[in-house]
Structure formats: structure tokens, C-alpha cells
Structure 1
Amino acid sequence: MFENPEYQDVIDKINKIRSYGLNKMLTIPQIAILGDQSSGKSSVLEAITKLSFPRNIETCTRFATQVSMRRSEQIEISAHIDDAPEFNERYCAQVGEWDIHTIISEANSILCSSVEISEKVLEITISGPTLSPLTIIDLPGYINTTVDGQDKGIVQTIRAINTRYIKDSRTIILAVVPANVDLNNIFVLGEAERYDPLNERTIPIVTKPDTIEPDLLPSLIHTLLNRRKCMKLGYLVMKNSSYKDIDISWDDAKQREDDFFKSSMLWKQVPDARKGRVSVKKFLGELLYTHIKKELPFLKKEILELISDCEKELTSMGPPVSNTAMAKVKYFECILKLKSALTALMDGNYSFEYISKHKSDYVAAADGNDGSVNADDGDDNSDFAPPALKGNHHFIRSSLYRLYQRYNQAMNKDKYLLPADKISELVLRYKGNELPGFVSFTTFTQIYTETLVCWRDMTKAHVTSMHLYLHDAIANFIAFTAEPLLEDTLLLEFDKFYSSQIAKIDDTIESIFTDEGTPFTLNKYYYDNILNSRREKVEKQIQGLLNKYQPNTNATAAPITLQKSDINYNEQFAIEDLQEQLQSYCKVARKRIVDVVLLQTIERYMIKQINLYFDMLIAVDDSAISSRLLESLARTERRQELQDNAAVLRKSLLEL
């Protein structure tokens, strides 16, 4: 297996992408050794790597150590710590024999000079003709309490560091389990089960099998045969060297281990492939190889997604703006882009992409699902408080047209045409010194003003609904379209434009209704309607007289003598005539008002004069523009970070 070139190639690829720094952006397939302090972790690492690690509690438990082994013709060692250039230069490539104790001692002085436990990793790479390719990470051992003088927080710090590895679905958890401790009391198994509940990537390795009492050995064998606590990957067992054997060679330690497993017939029940340092290393190597091969397609997919995310963010940032002149150029480019887009939007000139993106809003509105209420829903007060359009109505012109329709419908309700009794009451209220049967122009105007006041209040409510809708719709569009760094400036100037325009709108509405306060029309419909109405009344009165005095059409016509009561041109006739005049005049006036109001308020000040907004943007002070667009240190650092990340991702993808 280890002699297979493909195996070496796969392990090398993972080691290379880790050296590029991919593991800082994505999780990569790996094996991590975890366990309680003094559980035998260091001796497991020694047995697998053939390296003699320090057993001093002050050094070996204070940071993670990653050991990568590869086969090569030349014996070589290198060590690396992030952000430690002098250390990395000293141990970049050391040919020949090496002193692990010195490397770890120096790493300890760098990583733990100001903290009890470091979250950084010491990376050691060793090569040699007899080495079997494998990468394994030794993590700080769990502790439950501290001694005097130690930082109380290191208990949680160690757990937090280890948890980052345990919860990573691409990490195989090599859980060190001392043989003389019951499985129920092994903390690392409980932690592993939290993030690997099916025990699919946790493999316990039993250490210190020589410390168990002989009568408990059958129970231990039962566990190792996966019959007590089932693990998908099974169990491993290794006799590690004790402190008294610290100076013996690796070969001597292996021989003692072999002799131990031959010391009892019970050990024969445990397969050779799962006991002893040589078998354990081979098992872990094959496991890591299979794990990497399974994860590679998913890893490549995630790399491609991250490259895409980096490119999108870099594109959104645009080219860097390094001086005031560049800032001004970019600002005017943004203004022109926004002007073109907003003008097209307000003209109802939508691009194919825009329609494709927002067509669902139009369909919802057309189906009446926009959360709005019709203006003619039967509520007498709804005309004065028209409901605003709800939701994101991206099709401004069509949404505005619906608001226009509501206003027109509200203005054309019959309840604003006064009945005869109301007119009679108002005639008495406003009557001057005119003779009975006559209604003066002043009285007509006063009565008409009653209706005009209602129309004005209703118009103000509807126009407010319109310009509030436009404010929100345009502001949302600006926020959506504009360069993020300029969004605040663009919205601030738009609010200024909006405030000035609604003041003009309010003044215009007052002017329109002030002018309408003096009845005036040259409309032919009005004249024809009055004349026709009067003619119909006269003809009806004459026909009534004829029916009264000549009921028999065959009788000889006799002279008609009119009685005083037959003359109906009295006060009541004048009121009825006034009602007809008011109705005819109101029909003409309200149509004129609707058209004039919409054209001279919303259309004039909010649609056609939108260029004033862009004039205001052009006048914005250069310093305000520069402060927004000049690249900040944080933005420059983020740009560099994205470029560096993209480079690492592309390099890693090529490697895979």
C-alpha cells in the first residue's frame, strides 16, 4: 500500500494544499489524535512517526502538532509556524538527522510566550527512504482542572481548539483510550459522539494495555472486538512506551510490544491488522487514503464555489480608487449609470433581464395579491386615507397608474353630488338679498365650495399616497442599483430632492383648488346639459298643463286659463335648477381637477423633474465624494485578502 505511487501522490496533494493555506478557508481530510492528558497520546505519535517527542507537560500539551511523513531518497525535516519568519527560515529544510526536542522547545517559546495554550499549529514535515506516507495532527490533551498558577481558562481553551477538529466532518477522530479507564468515563468519546453520533469517523485506539488487571483482560478483548460499544471503524490497540522506557530505540520498543501481544492467548482474538504500531500505522494510512479519495470531489466543488464568491466580491468592489481625481470620475460614472437606469424605469422602459427578475411582482399585482385595497370598497372614509401599495413594486409606472385609478374613482363617487334638500339648506345658509326664486353667483360659489373642500382633502390624501410610494420605490431602486459606497450620499440627496418637490406639490394643490374656488367653464357639455335639463322641465310642465285642462283629445279646444298655483317657477324650481347646474358643473370640474392635479403634481415634480435630483448630485462637494470612494485601509486589506484567497484556491484546485 505505502509503496503505491498513487498513495504517495494523494497524500502529497493534501499536504501541499495544506501548506498553501487552504485549510484556513476549507476543511480538508485529516486524522487528529485526541485524548485526555497523560492518556498516551504522545507515545502513540512516537510509535507512528518514529520520532521522540518530549513528554514534559510544559511543552507537549500547549499547542497542536501536525506531522507529515513522506517517502523520498533523502532524509530531510522542515518545520513551520504561521507568522514566525525567523523560525520558518531556520527550519525550512534541514538535511540529515534532526532534533525534535529542540524544534518543539523553540516552537513553545514562540507560541506560548504570552499564553498558556496556543491556537496555532506547529507543522513538521519529515522525509526519508523508509518512511510511510501519512499526515496526523496531535492536539492538546483534555484537562478537567488547573493547578495553582495556571490560567483557569485553559480548560475551555483546550476544549474549544479540539472541538474545531472534532466537529469537522472531514476529520477522522483517533480517540486515545487508556485500557485501565472504563469507556463510560472517557471524555473524548463523549465529545466525539456529540458531533459524530453514528460513530462513523471515530476510531478509538486503546493504549497502556499492560496496565490492566489480568482478570479484566477478557472485558478489554471484548471491547476491542467491537462487541461492547460498536464503532463503524472498529478499534485499534497499541502498547506504548512508558516513561521508564523513554530512552529505548523504536525497534526495541516494537519488539517489546510484539512480545507483549504474544504473552496471552487472549490477544490472538484481536486481528493482527488492528494491534501493534506497524499495523496501526498501516491501518491509518489506508483509512486516510480512502477518506481523501472519497472527499476529493466535494472538496473541488467547494473550492470552485469559493473562487466564484471571491470573484463576485472583487467585481462588486470595482477597481481601486486611489486619489481624488479617480474618485470624481467614478462618481460621475455612477451618476450616469443611475440616471440612465432610473429614467428608463420611470418611463416604463424595462430591460429583458429586469422583467425576468421582477416579473413575479407584476403578476401578483395583476392578480390583486399585492396587499392593496380598492378605493371603492364601500368605506366612506377610505377616500381620505387611500391604502399604499405594499411589497416591492418594481414596475413603478404600472403601480403609479393603479394609484391614479383609485384617485379618479374616489373623485367620481356620486356622494359628492348634493341632494336637493342639502342644497335647499345651503341656499338658506348663504342667501343674500336676492329676490325669491333667484340664486346669486355668490350663493352658487359658496355651495360649490362645500364639495370643493371635500375634493381638496381627498386629493391631498391620494397625492400623499402617490409621492410616498414613489419615494420608497425610487429609494429602493437607488439602493439596489448604486455603488454601495455611494448609497448613503445618493439617498441623502434624493431625500433633499423629495422634500423640495413635495413642498411644491403641496403649493400646487392649494393653487389648483384656489383657482377652482371661482366657478368658471367654457365647456360645451356644461351648457348643453343645462339647456337640455331646463327644456325637459319646461316641456314636462307644459305637458302637465295640457293633460290637466284638455284631458280629452277629441274635445273641442277651450281657452286655457292658468291658475296662480299652476306657475311652478318658484323657490323650489330655483333649487332644482341649481342642483342641475351644480351636478353639471361638478362633472366638468372634477374631470379637469383630476387631470390637472396628476399632471401638475406627481407627473411634473416627481417624474419630469427627476433631472433636478441629478443636478443636485453633480453639485455634491468633492470632499464628500472622496471620503466615500477613496479606498480605505480596511477595504484595501479586504481586496488583498480576496486576491490572496483566490490565488490559494486556484493553486489548490490545480494541485487536485
Structure 2
Amino acid sequence: MNNQLRRLRNARLENVEASSTLGASPSVNNYNPIAMINKEINTEECRQLLKKVDKMREILQMEKVSLPQIVVVGDQSVGKSSILEAISGIELPRAQNICTRCPLELRMKSAPPDSQDYATIRCAGVDELIINDLSEISARVVECTNFLTGNLVNISPSPIFLTVYKREIEDDLTLIDLPGITRTQVDGQSPTIYRDIVSLIETCVQSESSIVLHVIPSSVDFTTSESIQICQRYDPQYERQIIAVSKIDKHDKGIAEKLQGIGPGSLALLLGSVAVLNRKQEEIDAKVSFEEMRRREEKFFQTNPAFADVPKEHLGSRELIKKLVSIQQSRIRLTLPSVIEGVKEKIQMKREELKHIPIAILTETDTRFAFNEILRNYRTAVEKRVKGDYEIQSGQVAKTFDPTARDQWDDRIAYHLKMIGKCTSAEIKRILSTFSSPNQGTQMLQSIEENYGGGLPNFPSSNIIQQLYQPYHKQLETPCKSLVVWVEQYMTSCLAYILEKVIPAEASYKLPLSRELNKVIKGVIENSRVKCMENVEQMLKMEEKVFTVNSNYMDIFKKLQASDKTQSDNRTPHDVLIGLQAYCSIVQARIVDHLSQLCEYWFIRNGVLLLDGKLNTEFTPAELLKWMKEPPLLEQRRANLRRSIDTMERALVAAESD
């Protein structure tokens, strides 16, 4: 068995050395934690490091920033207070039920040899109090606890800061004592007391910068401890956990192996475990001093045969203090630089978040300023898109334009108006090109022959040409009016999209203001559609009569005539058909151009580009203030961000100061 213990100790020392938690491993018999770390651990530099961390933790207690810390956890009544008393040499509150009901940050500081021992205590809502008589500490802790919890049974996550300055303290050390885990609810206690305590513990232990000091009685199976099971979820390899074995005078058989992580009920922790002798009630009543208790503790381990083969590092409160000090300094050196960088990153993120919160709007003047800014941005955005000044993405270029696919519409106004014009032109061309189809051409030639009447054979009546053209002209109404309707729908959708982009996303008034503005925008676009439709109807009315003075007509006619290979004694019907074909080419270009001009005139020049002026005069200052006034929640959010930034900046000053 002794050989097995020796091998385990050597293996643990190698692991500790590899993890940089302790320094070079000495022989097992001469084990000394102080010798295993850098000699600077007791220097002023190390004290200043701990002081900075303590200050940062206090400043950042309301922020989600994880700092290097040692938290003390355990079930209710397992001797946590006794362990802390043995470490600190001061009396702490004791009770039958939950003794610690809010986090107690216990800071132990070395005092100069020529000074008096004293302590300070404070918490949220209670100013710092200097305690010159250390026997009063317990009463002052109870007072702060009751102030924070409001009664004698519930808990609070708000911490108490207790700093003890004693001449006998060799190494500065900070521990955070958390409420003991209890499942039994007492009178007046919250029904969620168990869940509240577990949640508080989880919050403190889940960070990798936290070291967990479990307090577990010697007679208890370490693996069944609830605090161990909670921490295992966040540290499954047991790399950040250490056990203070309490009530060692009631140990069971096999305690030597158990302390060293061997055998039933033990845990092989990287940081190990240390046994501590608690003060008994009769010793408390007899006011046995902590110095005397340490002498009794040393004698207990020296004279008890159960601990004869247990290495010194596992025995006594002095060894526990040394181990905790070395772990604390090592953890601070390892994690503090990354913590500082993390705080800087959080400051930058919060500044960005604050920058994206709209300016405060509390008066009509504030409202007018913000509203005018929105209108300026809106007009600029719309004008760019009308001119075609936008980024073209490769995915957009590859897509085939489909006017019916509303889900593919975007804010490229110039592009969409051009493409719908092309689609309309293609549809008009399809309607008018039926003159040149073989079947239709044969029928038209026959119709021309039959309707000459008494006219000259080589000079057909103009009525015949008009009659031939009229059925096709009537078909032009659908694509022309459909174009106007499509432009109305697209512009309404596009302008609403652009408006959504220019109103700040975080603005509390985004929904009510955009709803009112879209009503006006929709009204303007509807009016543009009505005016444009009236002009389209007039255009179609004018186009009923076959008429053109366009010189291109004869050029097209001659080209078509030259390409016509028809052999006939009577060329007149064929020339009439060719003339209609040439005329339809002129009509197609004329109508498409006219439609495009009408849409640009009514929807763009007399619609979109006049919107900001319309919107600027549509609402009274009182109406705008009603929609845009900042709600209290947004004001609180802005204040919280500023306070958070200020808090973290103060923490950085504390961390980076000499």
C-alpha cells in the first residue's frame, strides 16, 4: 500500500508541475508548497496583483466578467465556517440553519508589525465600517446579511466585502464563501431556496478562472457530495477543485488513502485535498484561541496513527493556506491578462451597441431633428436607387427577371423599371407581330382583296388599313395598363423596404412611424398611378388612328418590301400588309417610349422625388412626438450601457495602475 501511495503522490506532483499551478516538485517527505512556487509569492508585487483583482471584482460585481477567484462551497452544516475561521483566525457567524446567506468575500491582508489588527466591512447600501475589535466581526456580518436578505432565512446574491488586516497573516488571500446547499425549507423561507443556492453556486464556479474549495466532512463519500456533482458539470476533469476535509476527528477507516485520492469514497483531484481540525463547541465556549487550535491541530495529526503515512501537504490549516495562496497567485498570473483583454473587448462592444441606439427624443425639437435626419437619409437612398447607384451582387446578375416573382424584387429601382419596360415591349411586339405570321398574312390579303370596293385597284382605301389595325390595337390596352399597375405595386413595396432600412433598427418608434409614413407613401404612389393611367388611356385613344410622320417608316417599309419574294400580278395587297408591318414597328417603339416617359414622370419626378417634401409637411410636431418619444425602457437601456462602460473602464484603471 505504501508503494501505491508513493506512486500516486509522485504522479500528482508531475501533473501539478505540468499544469504550472505549482513549481518544481521536491521530494515527498520534504514537500512544501511555498518552495514549489516562485519566491515572489510573498513580495509586494504579488500582494498588488491580488489587490487589483479584489478591486476589479468589487467594481465588476454587476457585470458578466469572470475574474480569478477561490469560491468556498459545500452542503449546509459541513463545517464551512470552521474551515474559514481556521484559515483567517477570526470568528464568523454560526447557526443551526443556513449560516452564510449571501456571498462573503473574505480578504485576508498582512498588516505591518507595528500596527493594530483591524477589519473593514461593507455591502450594497451599507457604507464601509472599520472594526477595531475583531470579536465584533461576526455581529457586523450578521447585520449586513440581514440588511441584504431582508429577513433571517432567505439568501441574496449581493456580496458582503470583509477585509481583515492582521499581523500574523503571512500571505494575502481572498476567499468567497457561498451559502451552504440545503434542501429543507424552513418557515418564512422562499420555496425556491434550494434552486436559488444552486444557481448562485453555478454562476460562481462555471468560469475557468474560478478555483473551487469544497468543504466535505471526513466521514462522507467525496463522490456523493452535491457541490462536487454540481462542479463536475463545469470541470469534469477535476482540474480546478480542491477539498478541505472537515470534522477530521470523526474520520472513518481508510482516511489516509482517501486524503490522497485512493480507495472508496475518494477523488483524485489535481489540486488534492487537505484535512483540517474543526473547533468543537466546547472549545468555542471555552474561547480557545485560534493559535492554540493550530497547536492542537498539529499535535492531533502528529499523534494519530491514522495519519502517520500521510504526506504533510494533506494535513492542517497551515498547509491549506499555503496551497490556496500558491493556487491563487498562479491562477491570477495565468488568467488576469486575458481577463483584462476581455474587459476591453466588452467595452468596445458596448460602445458599438450604444452608438446604434437612436438619439434621445424627449421634446418636439428632438423629434423634428430626428425626423428630418430620417427624411434626408430616405431621399438620398431613393435618389441613388433611381439613378442606378447601388451595389450589384453576382447572384442578382445571374437571375432572370420575372415580373411576377415578388419575392425576387429588390430596391434597384432603375433596373426594375428598365426590365419591366423590356417585358412590356416584348408583349406589345408579340401582339403586333401577328401581321407577319403566315396564316394571318393570308387572311389579311384575302380581306384586302374583298374590301377594295369601288376604289382603284392599286390604291386601297385608308379605311381598310384602319380596320385591319384596329383589332390589334385593342389588345395593347392590357399590357400598357398592366405596366402601370405593376410599377405601382413595385414602388409601394420598394419604398416601404427602403424606409425600413433608413429608420434606425433600435428605434422604439420604428413601427408606429413607419406605419404612418407608409400610409402617405402609398397615397402618393396611388395618386401617381391614377394620373399615369389617365395619360395611358389618352395615349391609347390617340393611337387608335393609324398615323405617323416618322421618316423611319419608309426605310422599314422599303427593307421589308425588298425582302418580300412574293410573285404576284397585283402587288397592292402585299404592299398594304408590308406597310402595316412597318407601321407596327413604329407603334411599338412609340408606345414603349411613351409608357416609360409617363411612368418616369408620374412615379419618379412627381412621386418618389417629391415624397420627402410631402412627408415633411404631413404631420404636426405633436403627432411626431407622440410616435417618436423615447420610452422609459430605452432610456434605461442607454443609461445601463453608459454605466456598464464606465464601470469596466474604472476596473481597467484599477487593473493597469501601478
| TM-score, shorter chain, exceeding 0.5 | yes
Work out the CA distance in 2 between the residues paired with 1:125 and 1:399: 72
Alignment partner of 1:106 out of 143, 159, 178: 143
Work out the CA distance in 2 between the residues paired with 1:446 and 1:455: 16
> Larger deviation: 309-318 or 458-467?
458-467
Structure 2 counterpart SS, 1:195: coil
Task: Identify if the C-alpha distance between structure 1 residues 521 and 57 changes in structure 2 by more than 3 Å, giving closer, same or farther.
Answer: farther
1:449 corresponds to 2:473: yes
Give the 5 Å matches for 1:23-34.
24-34=63-73
Give the 5 Å matches for 1:571-582.
574=573, 579-582=577-580
Work out the CA distance in 2 between the residues paired with 1:237 and 1:415: 102
Q: 1:399-434, CA deviations, whole angstroms, 9 ceiling, x for partnerless residues?
A: 654555455455545885353535777999999998
Q: Which amino acid aligns with 2:439?
A: D
After TM superposition, give the deviation of residue 38 of structure 1 in Å.
1.4
TM-score (norm 1): 0.80
1:625 corresponds to 2:636: no
Task: Identify if the C-alpha distance between structure 1 residues 277 and 432 changes in structure 2 by more than 3 Å, giving closer, same or farther.
Answer: farther
Q: 1:231-265, CA deviations, whole angstroms, 9 ceiling, x for partnerless residues?
A: 22222222222333324211122122112211234
Work out the CA distance in 2 between the residues paired with 1:342 and 1:127: 69
Work out the CA distance in 2 between the residues paired with 1:396 and 1:265: 92
Partner of 2:129 in structure 1? Answer: 92
1:157 corresponds to 2:181: no
Give the 5 Å matches for 1:376-387.
386-387=404-405
1:497 corresponds to 2:521: yes
Task: Identify if the C-alpha distance between structure 1 residues 266 and 80 changes in structure 2 by more than 3 Å, giving closer, same or farther.
Answer: same
After TM superposition, give the deviation of residue 627 of structure 1 in Å.
3.4
Work out the CA distance in 1 between the residues paired with 2:313 and 2:264: 14
Partner of 1:592 in structure 2? Answer: 590
Work out the CA distance in 2 between the residues paired with 1:400 and 1:51: 83
Work out the CA distance in 2 between the residues paired with 1:227 and 1:154: 28
> Larger deviation: 248-257 or 53-62?
53-62
Q: Identity of paired residues, percent?
A: 20
Q: Which amino acid aligns with 1:76?
A: Y
Q: 1:531-582, CA deviations, whole angstroms, 9 ceiling, x for partnerless residues?
A: 6656876x954xx6xxxxxxxxxxxxxxxxxxxxxx657xxx74x6665344
Work out the CA distance in 1 between the residues paired with 2:579 and 2:505: 53
After TM superposition, give the deviation of residue 501 of structure 1 in Å.
1.3
After TM superposition, give the deviation of residue 133 of structure 1 in Å.
1.2
Give the 5 Å matches for 1:501-580.
501-505=525-529, 507-509=531-533, 511-517=535-541, 518-519=544-545, 520-530=547-557, 533=560, 540-541=566-567, 568=570, 574=573, 579-580=577-578
Work out the CA distance in 1 between the residues paired with 2:269 and 2:137: 34
Structure 2 counterpart SS, 1:46: helix
1:272 corresponds to 2:312: yes
Q: 1:494-524, CA deviations, whole angstroms, 9 ceiling, x for partnerless residues?
A: 4422342144225524632552241443222
TM-score (norm 2): 0.80
Give the 5 Å matches for 1:59-70.
60-70=99-109
Work out the CA distance in 1 between the residues paired with 2:383 and 2:609: 9
Alignment partner of 1:237 out of 260, 275, 280: 275
After TM superposition, give the deviation of residue 34 of structure 1 in Å.
0.8
Alignment partner of 2:336 out of 296, 316, 320: 296
Alignment partner of 1:373 out of 386, 390, 400: 400
Task: Identify if the C-alpha distance between structure 1 residues 579 and 55 changes in structure 2 by more than 3 Å, giving closer, same or farther.
Answer: farther
> Larger deviation: 449-458 or 129-138?
449-458
Partner of 1:202 in structure 2? Answer: 241
Q: Is the 8 A contact 1:339 1:614 kept in 2?
A: yes
Alignment partner of 1:77 out of 119, 122, 125: 119
Structure 2, gaps ≥5 residues long: 1-39, 455-459
Work out the CA distance in 1 between the residues paired with 2:132 and 2:235: 41
Partner of 1:561 in structure 2? Answer: none
After TM superposition, give the deviation of residue 645 of structure 1 in Å.
1.8
Partner of 2:487 in structure 1? Answer: 463
Work out the CA distance in 2 between the residues paired with 1:81 and 1:319: 35
Structure 1 counterpart SS, 2:233: helix
Q: Is the 8 A contact 1:238 1:275 kept in 2?
A: yes
Partner of 2:324 in structure 1? Answer: 284
Q: Which amino acid aligns with 1:130?
A: E
Work out the CA distance in 2 between the residues paired with 1:3 and 1:623: 68
Q: Is the 8 A contact 2:221 2:266 kept in 1?
A: no
Q: 1:605-639, CA deviations, whole angstroms, 9 ceiling, x for partnerless residues?
A: 13664332111232221013323554544333333
Q: Is the 8 A contact 1:34 1:188 kept in 2?
A: yes
Q: 1:278-308, CA deviations, whole angstroms, 9 ceiling, x for partnerless residues?
A: 1111211111111111111211111111221
Work out the CA distance in 1 between the residues paired with 2:504 and 2:178: 47
1:417 corresponds to 2:405: no
Work out the CA distance in 1 between the residues paired with 2:531 and 2:362: 46
Work out the CA distance in 2 between the residues paired with 1:431 and 1:36: 112
Task: Identify if the C-alpha distance between structure 1 residues 623 and 269 changes in structure 2 by more than 3 Å, giving closer, same or farther.
Answer: farther
Structure 1, gaps ≥5 residues long: 351-358, 376-384, 545-566
Q: Is the 8 A contact 1:61 1:141 kept in 2?
A: yes
Structure 1 counterpart SS, 2:215: strand
Q: Is the 8 A contact 1:62 1:117 kept in 2?
A: yes
Q: Is the 8 A contact 2:260 2:272 kept in 1?
A: no
Work out the CA distance in 1 between the residues paired with 2:525 and 2:506: 22
Work out the CA distance in 2 between the residues paired with 1:613 and 1:146: 67
Structure 2 counterpart SS, 1:346: helix
Q: Is the 8 A contact 1:221 1:267 kept in 2?
A: no
> Larger deviation: 439-448 or 31-40?
439-448
Partner of 1:121 in structure 2? Answer: 159
Give the 5 Å matches for 1:420-431.
421-422=439-440
Partner of 1:254 in structure 2? Answer: 294
Structure 2 counterpart SS, 1:158: helix
Work out the CA distance in 2 between the residues paired with 1:279 and 1:5: 22
Q: Is the 8 A contact 2:411 2:497 kept in 1?
A: yes
After TM superposition, give the deviation of residue 191 of structure 1 in Å.
0.9
Work out the CA distance in 2 between the residues paired with 1:498 and 1:435: 55
Please give the root-mean-square deviation of Cα atoms over the aligned residues, in Å.
3.6
Partner of 2:367 in structure 1? Answer: 327
Work out the CA distance in 2 between the residues paired with 1:503 and 1:208: 88
